[in-house]
A and B are shown apart, each in its own frame.
Chain A
């Protein structure tokens, strides 16, 4: 390390289900340089101070979505949050809020995966096409209608930010709703009617109280709040349409 190395205190929330009754804080002194991320800080702890610290990480460049943590109370990707921005104060690192902790900074994400699976996150073709017929035509404007909602990296920061998910873990939540919307507005897709059942259900959009913190913390500018709110409109329209059309709305 270079001569401009300094020492920062990292306070980590520890919890080991095999020996701890409750989570507790542990403070480590970590040497750092200006270009080091919080992730590199916890990696230093694991490599040299305490090999038992557990956390998820992989790509280091904010695209794999593994390393979400609460950093000084804010849902953040630890790989693109830098220690220099906290020094000389202590930085506090905890598991993502609103999820059960499996160990240390590792949360249980099975519930999130189930939500993802439940929204039929794949093209249900409007007009089936064979490979020999080649690609579907999709103009840049049609791509633009869903592109931002397809950029979700499943990091779950928005769930840690969402007060409603904190109260009711059954709520489909921001990321899954954004993905649902992504497929609904894709010009190749014809599955909206099937997906609207979930949107309208008890776990659906009306749980959202339009706080908007989900979009604020999103590292990829997906703007899930926008997706949720567009679906509130769709859902309301759907509600009225069911009285007016023989098939019961959801067109």
Chain B
């Protein structure tokens, strides 16, 4: 087996991984960085983020407002000290991207422009038309080329960590083009592998979003935190789940039901005004909007389409010129995939799974409980999203915490002795044997695609927008069954070069672990909070028992063990989460009570 000695290994070449790599390179050019990614970095799913990235910019805005929006938006399940750090560093990081060349959209006088976004009190979402993630990712990737200490392992699939003397000391990766295994030694490791939305059926995510990094850490005893909180984005393409950015509503779009009625006013988000006011109506948070869709569907007020019920995202009143300038990608997606000209007809949309709020448990400095192991971005749970993420907070998170993870991993690496290469190699060889076993074994009769589809369907059935104990239990049982059947998986392709069938099998095994952590965490949370909503006697938030982070612990061959951790509260006591006119009233009362 080939082996390579680095100081810091970064797994994942999306926004967080690239930002971490640059942070290591800038903190000490002598550190050798290995950036391991299963796709070329610019293919990573950061590329698909559309609407923008949050950072306080206008004189009318404040860090306190951004903090309050984020903590309230997360239904008070946020680590408030981490949110304070986050909001205080967003602007700086987005400015850093500006210096690196990110083509932010501008005001006429040349300043970076900001737009409105759901759940945000003041416009603070920096944007590059409606391809913000694409531009941030390419800016970071291209900038990373400047640093000779970053050695990329493109199209290398990380399948495991090597851990010795209680600390992580590297990773084992498959070079996809040859099928060969490589040990990449490092004195610290940053996981930045993104979310796990592909465990659900209808989702906005790319094929790569399979949660491998989460599962790898989980199997080494690192808890996955708050995994029951999965975000449904309210405006997605029926069937494929492709995303129509929240910026459609930030720019003034309407959501209407089959009667052309702006139904959100019936769900505590009104009043309906000609252009959506911040934190009201179409600019409410994603969880509330997806939940409102569900109720409209129950009431028979949605429109029946080829791929299930839909409502209409109406952008016609914005006019073609504005749509072409601000939402060019949305315009083309609607035209090419749906045959809809959004300047002339409404776009049919429905909610789809979009984002994994939970992830690898880390502290505010991105350190996991396993010494030497750090995590950043969607794969991590650093604590800023709570029970529901606000749109445009995740792109900022990639930069703010990608940098923190890189700096901390650099510091840890410098303070640690190199590992024992011979014994690490021995471990890596055991990993090779286990993972190769998936394709060398014969006699299996389960099709990968069948298992994958059954997993995705049962996750949608049991862990959708609204949840019930008996369907969640069925999902848990189904996942147990699928894990059992996975032992009989059949990988027909026994070859080495570009064996993607084998890789799909490895991904599926990890996806089943992550799906289990979600389903069991959901079943155990007997309350409703943010994106976790129940209809079986636990319809209310229960701060007394569940103002707690869930922590799923891996149990080999069994169901995960779920326990709970405290939530850090600094300055915002849990309150009523309200939007629209009700939200404004609640805020006034809060202010009056504080005086």
Contact = CB atoms under 8 A, between A and B. Distances in A.
Interface of A: 2, 16-19, 33, 35, 46-48, 51-52, 54-66, 80, 102-104, 106, 108-109, 113, 116-117, 120-123, 125, 129, 131, 134-140, 142-143, 146-147, 150-151, 153-154, 179, 183, 186, 188-189
A169 B285 CA distance: 50
Nearest to B491: A51
Contacts of B31: none
B146 A131 contact: no
A108 B47 CA distance: 21
CB-CB nearest 10 A-B residue pairs: A137-B110, A47-B449, A58-B206, A103-B498, A121-B142, A52-B493, A59-B206, A123-B101, A51-B501, A54-B498
B40 interface: yes
A48 B92 CA distance: 49
Interface of A (DSSP majority class): loop
Given A52-B495, A121-B142, A138 B110 contact: yes
B449 A131 contact: no
28 contacts: A17-B497, A19-B495, A35-B306, A47-B447, A48-B447, A51-B491, A51-B501, A54-B500, A55-B500, A56-B43, A58-B207, A58-B208, A59-B45, A59-B206, A61-B337, A62-B333, A63-B47, A64-B42, A64-B43, A102-B497, A104-B498, A106-B498, A113-B40, A117-B145, A123-B143, A138-B106, A138-B110, A150-B138
Contacts of B496: 18
B488 interface: no
Contacts of B109: 137, 139
Contact of A113 (B39, B44, B134, B154): B154
Nearest to A143: B106
A68 to B, nearest CB: 12
A142 B110 contact: yes
B18 to A, nearest CB: 12
A232 B47 CA distance: 32
A16 B497 contact: yes
Given A64-B47, A113-B154, A186 B101 contact: yes
Contacts of A33: 306
B441 to A, nearest CB: 15
Contacts of B447: 47-48, 51
B110 A64 contact: no
A135 B95 contact: yes
B96 interface: yes
Interface of B: 39-40, 42-45, 47-48, 92, 95-96, 98-101, 103-106, 108-112, 131, 134-135, 138, 142-143, 145-146, 154, 177, 206-208, 239-240, 242-243, 306, 329, 332-333, 336-337, 447-449, 491-493, 495-501
B337 A35 contact: yes
A60 B240 contact: yes
Contact of A136 (B40, B98, B131, B243): B98
Contacts of A35: 239-240, 306, 337
A136 B99 contact: yes
Contacts of A57: 207
A135 B111 contact: yes
B111 to A, nearest CB: 7
Nearest to A121: B142
A66 B39 contact: yes
Contacts of B207: 57-60
Tell me which of A80, A116, A150 has the highest count of chain B C-beta atoms within 10 A of its own C-beta.
Answer: A150
A203 to B, nearest CB: 18
B497 A121 contact: no
Given A61-B242, A116-B142, A140-B106, 16 more contacts: A18-B495, A35-B337, A51-B492, A52-B495, A52-B499, A54-B500, A59-B47, A63-B47, A63-B329, A64-B43, A135-B99, A140-B110, A147-B103, A150-B103, A153-B47, A186-B101
A66 B138 CA distance: 14
Contacts of A179: 142
Contact of A58 (B43, B108, B333): B43
A190 B374 CA distance: 37
B337 A129 contact: no
A95 to B, nearest CB: 11
A52 B110 contact: no
Contact of B498 (A102, A122, A150, A183): A102
Contact of A65 (B42, B96, B108, B501): B42
B101 A188 contact: yes
Nearest to B494: A52
Contact of B99 (A52, A63, A125, A137): A125
A56 B243 CA distance: 21
B105 A143 contact: yes
A13 to B, nearest CB: 14
A136 B493 CA distance: 53
A149 to B, nearest CB: 10
Nearest to B241: A60
Given A52-B493, A140-B108, A63 B135 contact: no
A60 B448 CA distance: 20
A227 to B, nearest CB: 15
Contact of B48 (A46, A55, A63): A63
A101 B410 CA distance: 39
Contact of B492 (A52, A80, A146): A52
A48 B329 CA distance: 32
A125 to B, nearest CB: 7
A16 B492 CA distance: 14
B206 A65 contact: no
Contact of A66 (B43, B239, B493): B43
A178 to B, nearest CB: 12
B454 to A, nearest CB: 13
Contacts of B492: 51-52
B493 A122 contact: no
Contacts of A143: 103, 105-106
A2 B145 contact: no
Contact of A18 (B47, B448, B497): B497
A147 B324 CA distance: 14
A60 B206 contact: yes
Contacts of B146: 122
B145 A122 contact: yes
Contacts of A19: 495
Contact of A64 (B103, B177, B206, B499): B206
Contacts of B108: 139-140
A60 B110 CA distance: 34
Nearest to A137: B110
Nearest to B503: A54
A138 B104 CA distance: 9
Contacts of B154: 113
Contacts of B145: 116-117, 120-122
Nearest to B97: A135
A187 B594 CA distance: 48
Contacts of B138: 150
Given A60-B240, A61-B333, A122-B146, A131 B96 contact: yes
